[in-house]
Amino acid sequence: MVERKILNILMKEHYFQMVYDVVRLIPPGRICTYGLIADFLGLGSARMVGWALNKCISYGTDIPAHRVVNRKGELSGRNHFPGSEMMQQLLENEGIVVEMDKVRDFDKLLWKPQESQNTGL
């Protein structure tokens, strides 16, 4: 029983790190979705990616979690940032226009993890 709990903890840590590695590849001025990251990793669901990103503050500040939105382009993770406008401000600092908590030109700005295949991930 204890061994299973340890294995679960190690798997969670590994999964989180894989999510963070993909998120670090999203270029400034582009966005990705929770679901695309989950599909790319082949582990879990979009909700698990969101859970991992919610915990990323304890893993370092170099994880651009603000670049991950839901499948409609909405800033669904905005409440997990300090201040309700922080996610939008970070995106706008990169030139992304946000209107009513939704990324304008979502399809044009969407980055797909498969684009990272040439980076060695």
Model confidence pLDDT, tens digit, residues 70-94: 999 999 988 888 878 999 999 999 9
Residue among 17, 26, 18, 52 nearest 113 (CA)? 26
In the chain, the N- to C-terminal Cα span, in Å, equals 34
Compare 17 and 57 and report the one with higher pLDDT: 17
The average pLDDT across 15-40 equals 95
Cα 25 to Cα 22: distance, rounded to the nearest angstrom: 5
Over residues 23-38, the mean pLDDT reads 97
Domains of the chain with bracketed CATH:
2-113 (1.10.10.10)
- The larger pLDDT score, comparing residue 102 to residue 116, is at 102
Q: Is a pLDDT exceeding 80 seen at residue 10?
A: no
